[in-house]
């Protein structure tokens, strides 16, 4: 059995003035399709111009997805891995790609760690794992009902 890994990266949307909702729907549709076919699960979180995505799956699949598709996607910039580790448990097993927008739980999390606003680039080694747990506990939202 190959090794499962969990990867969390952050990036910034390239053009916040473009049609955000359309972009989010496209990104989610592509993710759900690819992930379903490749046994990848995860969550996409968007807020204040930032993307945070956590992916789980076989190491080769995740590495390939990240370096050949995600990094090269021109809808976002400054793509940085904040967390990468082998995982036994699958936190997002029921979702090909869960979508969650900024909400009180996330804001509270950042305030608790003295981060004044939502900026995922400020996450540290200690806070990233806690943040992943917060994301795992968030309810799924239909992107169509989300107005950025």
Query: Could you read off the pLDDT of 27-73 as tens digits, one per residue?
Result: 888 888 999 999 999 988 888 888 899 999 999 999 999 999 999 99
Beta bridge partners of 57: 5
Fold of 4-145: Alpha-Beta Plaits (3.30.70)
Q: Would you state the pLDDT for residue 48?
A: 82
Measured between alpha carbons, how far is 148 from 7 in angstroms, rounded to an integer? 26
The two three-digit tokens of residue 102, written as one number: 């900024």
Q: Would you state the pLDDT for residue 88?
A: 84
pLDDT digits (tens, 9 = 90+) for 83-133: 999 998 888 888 887 787 767 777 788 878 766 667 888 888 778 888 888
The residue behind tokens 């979180």 is 45
Quick one: which of 92, 84, 126, 86 has its CA closest to 109?
A: 126
Q: Would you state the pLDDT for residue 65?
A: 95
């Amino acid at each position: 059995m190959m090794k499962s890994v969990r990867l969390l990266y952050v990036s910034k949307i390239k053009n916040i003035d473009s049609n955000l909702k359309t972009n989010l729907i496209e990104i989610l549709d592509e993710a759900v399709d690819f992930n379903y076919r490749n046994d990848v699960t995860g969550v996409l979180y968007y807020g204040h111009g930032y993307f945070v995505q956590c992916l789980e799956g076989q190491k080769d699949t995740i590495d390939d997805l990240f370096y050949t598709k995600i990094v090269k996607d021109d809808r976002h910039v400054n793509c940085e891995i904040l967390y990468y580790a082998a995982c036994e448990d699958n936190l997002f097993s029921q979702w090909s790609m869960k979508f969650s927008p900024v909400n009180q739980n996330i804001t509270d999390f950042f305030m608790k760690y003295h981060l004044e606003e939502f900026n995922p680039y400020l996450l540290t080694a200690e806070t990233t794992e806690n943040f992943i747990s917060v994301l795992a506990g968030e309810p799924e939202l239909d992107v169509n009902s989300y107005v950025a």
